[in-house]
């Protein structure tokens, strides 16, 4: 890959991990529910699932809704997102005929047609039938410039742990005796056609305390994995060690990355002799090397070359000059109170910036030249909606894929040559009638006076009598921004029925860059929850809804948010859905990858517990209190957030006689579902539960 950044790695690892040694749990009576595959625990799970199926899945209208949602997920008219690999455009596709998916390819000329002809490269359902497995697709890395061999990652049942197998694009077969990495957290990365970097579980002591690779090696074809040569060994308390080669023609370089924690990493240039040279940039900065440029996306102020650059800025320097000791930077983006950098992508000659201004996107084109960086607006970009751009082929082309979407407008995909009017290629079908709704943006005032934005989708003829069933969704963590997007599921299951949908842009997220995220870290975590509660209050003040008719939903870190809404703000909601949640904040750092999240929440085995206990739902629960109805959803195969969090919280709710339901999918990993049928079922459970409770 030509863009080397930790952003993609961090996004894939957010609340992710592997098993580690548990700590003593004191007098926790439900510790046995942490035995993921324990017979007693699974018997309990099956009993809870059966009650939820009987109470919700057997209710009137459920089967019809589930069928509608399955039809949306299986629709053959959806945009087939593609990646250019050599001369072909590849797509991974799931529908009713291909529940686990098919990897396929076509030409650009075909792709431009309304109904392109596809050539099947790998049919995952056929592979599963032949091998008696239940593989879930995790992606493919194909070796430039020939694009003949690929490293394909496959997960058993959807867990983060996966295997890597070498695949031949010409024969469309797995390579006999090719590179193979056994099931573990980690991966392979091409060096050349006969050599790879391997970072995985090499046995005792080879993983970090978070359960990720601590060692990276160079592995030659035809030799046993045990003979691979050590490249770098991290510390046990690091988070993730990896290596990769940048295959950009004329700029081939090797790098080793040492991730200590989220937004805390070191990047090393590896020379031909195997020596490592540290890129002396702040650990907190996201580092990107592309051709002759080093880009730093700053998360803290950085002083260099006699100048100081603020957090949130994007700065660029000549990479070779930087490695030689020079510190001459150009400022490519400077944040302000209302704006932040949402992302960027390189084309052959340009850098496209995606800037968010009060959670609305604006695109800019920067072009390096002898006299610095020229700036221009992105030609033809839509004025409204959420925008995203990605390069088609940064080695040979100035074209980008441009997507545009909002809550009520189906997503469109365009081919955009820089400086030319975009060519619309594809559009998602209309899955629900959005003509009766309107989108608004409002700001609520949080407890400390901070203005917190949120998006509101409501019927045009809303009565403003406080009775509208309203669903408030949030996340608020790991600098992840929530933006408007078209969802057939939300549209069909909620909006089309007359419900109001609200997307909260609370602190902890990335809507205003690093400052928005850092404002809710550790001891300040409560600010994210105060923001969410303030939005709930604002909706009531506007007479859109009332506590009886207001629901909330969130997953993963958003599940922790929901747990705190349940235990700290129960009077503000009529029902809450908690998905794949983090809830036991005393045990979290010893369950799966918890150690890798301590930069976000703190260390519960230290004095940090004094503030962590104030947002640990499992410990805040009071059986004497009144709580709104709650539905907990999780997955047995989730090896990011341990299903024990949801299991143990449900056990407390049941013991206290609360109105609570629970459903644990057997497959699916952290996403909850491994195929469209499972996804439709779990979504139907959530929306049926909410509508039953809030529309009364």
Instruction: Return the active site residues.
Output: 556, 670
Structural element, H or E, at residue 130: helix 124-131
Q: 505: closest CA among 489, 523, 520, 490?
A: 520
* Torsion angles phi and psi, residue 231, rounded to 5: -105, -45
Q: 143: closest CA among 77, 200, 188?
A: 188
Q: Which residue has the tokens 């070498």?
A: 166
Q: Which residues contact 389 (CB under 8 A, 6 or more apart)?
A: 345, 352, 354, 363, 378, 400, 401, 402, 403, 416
Tokens of 577: 């859905």
Cα separation, 12 vs 343, in Å, equals: 16
Q: Judge contact between 439 and 455, C-beta under 8 A.
A: yes
Tokens of 410: 């189906």
Q: 45: closest CA among 616, 628, 648?
A: 648
Q: For 460-543, list the strands marked E by DSSP.
A: 470-473, 500-504
Q: Judge contact between 320 and 292, C-beta under 8 A.
A: yes
Cα separation, 647 vs 634, in Å, equals: 9
Q: 186: closest CA among 208, 171, 158, 166?
A: 208
Residue 442 forms beta bridges with which residues?
454
Cα separation, 289 vs 299, in Å, equals: 17
Cα separation, 178 vs 174, in Å, equals: 8
Cα separation, 136 vs 101, in Å, equals: 8
Tokens of 530: 């105060």
Cα separation, 277 vs 140, in Å, equals: 29
Cα separation, 441 vs 451, in Å, equals: 12
- Cross-sheet strand order for the sheet of 187-192: 187-192, 195-199, 215-220, 229-233
Q: Judge contact between 310 and 298, C-beta under 8 A.
A: yes
Note the Cα 360 to chain centre separation in Å.
Answer: 20
């Amino acid at each position: 890959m030509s863009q080397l950044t930790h952003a993609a790695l961090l996004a894939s690892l957010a609340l992710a991990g592997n098993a580690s040694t548990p700590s003593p749990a004191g007098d926790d009576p439900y510790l046995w529910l942490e035995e993921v595959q324990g017979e007693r625990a699974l018997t309990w799970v099956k009993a809870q699932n059966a009650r939820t199926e009987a109470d919700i899945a057997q209710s009137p209208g459920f089967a019809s809704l589930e069928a509608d949602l399955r039809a949306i997920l299986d629709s053959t008219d959806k945009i087939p997102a593609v990646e250019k690999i050599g001369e072909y455009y590849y797509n991974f596709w799931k529908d009713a005929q291909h529940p686990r998916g098919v990897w396929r390819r076509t030409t650009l000329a075909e792709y431009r047609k309304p109904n392109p002809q596809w050539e099947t490269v790998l049919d995952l359902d056929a592979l599963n039938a032949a091998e008696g497995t239940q593989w879930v697709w995790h992606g493919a890395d194909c070796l430039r410039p020939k694009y003949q061999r690929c490293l394909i990652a496959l997960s058993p049942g959807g867990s983060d742990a996966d295997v890597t197998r070498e695949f031949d694009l010409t024969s469309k077969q797995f390579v006999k005796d090719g590179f193979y990495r056994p099931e573990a957290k980690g991966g392979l990365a091409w060096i050349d056609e006969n050599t790879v970097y391997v970072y995985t579980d090499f046995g005792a002591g080879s993983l970090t305390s978070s359960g990720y690779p601590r060692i990276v090696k160079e592995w030659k074809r035809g030799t046993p994995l045990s003979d691979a040569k050590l490249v770098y060994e991290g510390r046990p308390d690091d988070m993730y060690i990896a290596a990769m080669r940048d295959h950009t023609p004329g700029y081939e370089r090797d790098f080793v990355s040492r991730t200590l924690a989220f937004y805390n990493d070191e990047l090393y240039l590896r020379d031909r002799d195997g020596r490592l040279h540290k890129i002396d940039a702040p650990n907190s900065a996201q580092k990107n090397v592309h051709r002759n440029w080093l880009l730093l996306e700053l998360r803290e102020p950085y002083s260099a070359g006699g100048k100081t650059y603020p957090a949130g800025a994007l700065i660029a320097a000549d990479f070779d000059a930087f490695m030689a000791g020079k510190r001459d930077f150009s400022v490519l983006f400077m944040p302000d109170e209302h704006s932040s950098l949402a992302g960027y992508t390189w084309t052959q000659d340009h850098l496209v910036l995606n800037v968010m201004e009060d959670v609305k996107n604006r695109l800019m084109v920067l072009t390096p030249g002898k006299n610095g960086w020229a700036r221009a607006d992105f030609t033809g970009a839509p004025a409204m909606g959420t925008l995203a751009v990605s390069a088609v082929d940064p080695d040979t082309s100035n074209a980008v894929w441009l997507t545009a979407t909002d809550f009520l407008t189906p997503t469109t995909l365009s081919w955009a040559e820089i400086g030319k009017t975009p060519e619309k290629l594809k559009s998602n079908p209309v899955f629900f009638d959005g003509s009766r709704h309107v989108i608004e943006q409002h700001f609520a005032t949080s407890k400390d006076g901070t203005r917190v934005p949120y998006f509101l989708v409501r019927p045009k003829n809303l009565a403003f009598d406080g009775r509208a069933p309203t669903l408030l969704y949030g996340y608020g963590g790991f600098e992840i921004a929530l933006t408007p997007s078209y969802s057939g599921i939300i549209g069909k299951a909620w909006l089309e029925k007359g419900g109001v949908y609200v997307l909260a842009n609370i602190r902890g997220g990335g809507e205003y860059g690093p400052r928005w995220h850092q404002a809710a870290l550790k001891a300040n975590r409560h600010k994210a929850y105060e923001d969410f509660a303030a939005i709930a209050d604002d909706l009531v003040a506007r007479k859109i809804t009332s506590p009886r008719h207001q629901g909330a939903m969130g997953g993963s870190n958003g599940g922790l948010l929901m747990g705190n809404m349940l235990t700290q703000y129960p009077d503000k909601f009529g029902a809450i859905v908690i998905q794949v949640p983090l809830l036991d904040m005393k045990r979290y750092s010893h369950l799966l990858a918890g150690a890798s999240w301590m930069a976000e929440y703190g260390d519960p085995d230290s004095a940090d517990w004094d503030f962590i206990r104030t947002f640990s739902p499992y410990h805040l629960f009071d059986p004497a209190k009144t709580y709104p109805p709650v539905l907990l959803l999780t997955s047995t195969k989730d090896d990011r957030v341990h299903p024990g969090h949801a299991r143990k919280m449900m056990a407390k709710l049941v013991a206290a006689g609360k109105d609570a339901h629970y459903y644990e999918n057997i497959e699916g990993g952290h996403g909850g579902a491994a195929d469209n049928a499972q996804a439709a079922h779990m979504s139907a459970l959530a929306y049926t539960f909410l509508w039953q409770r809030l529309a009364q």
